[in-house]
Amino acid sequence: MNLADFFNSGDIVTWMVLSLSLLVMLYAMSLMNRAIRLLQYQVSVIENDLKLMGEELKMIANRDRPDLANVRSQGTEL
């Protein structure tokens, strides 16, 4: 039996097996798509958190560093 006879025979069991296997593959693809979207969302949340942490670190670094105008005025008073 060659492949053309296999598809042309019209056996209901053959078509049921093929259709069920296609449905299973489509379901697996939809699950993978959902997982990929969830991962993309988690990565975007992590990126936003990193951006906020970077801005907070810049604010902390600028707060602890003395202003240049104050440093120069103190240096000339000595």
Type and span of the H or E element at 76? helix 68-77
Q: How far is CA 47 from the centre of its chain?
A: 10
CA 12, CA 34: separation in Å to the nearest integer? 33
pLDDT, tens digit, 9 for 90 and up, residues 48-77? 999 999 999 888 888 766 666 666 666 555
What is the pLDDT confidence band of residue 17, given thresholds at 50, 70 and 90?
A: confident
The count of domains in the chain is 1
Domain assignment of residue 41, given as a range: 3-77
pLDDT (average), residues 10-19: 82
Task: Single out the residue of 75, 55, 73 nearest to residue 63, CA to CA.
Answer: 55
pTM of the predicted protein model:
0.57
What is the pLDDT confidence band of residue 15, given thresholds at 50, 70 and 90?
A: confident
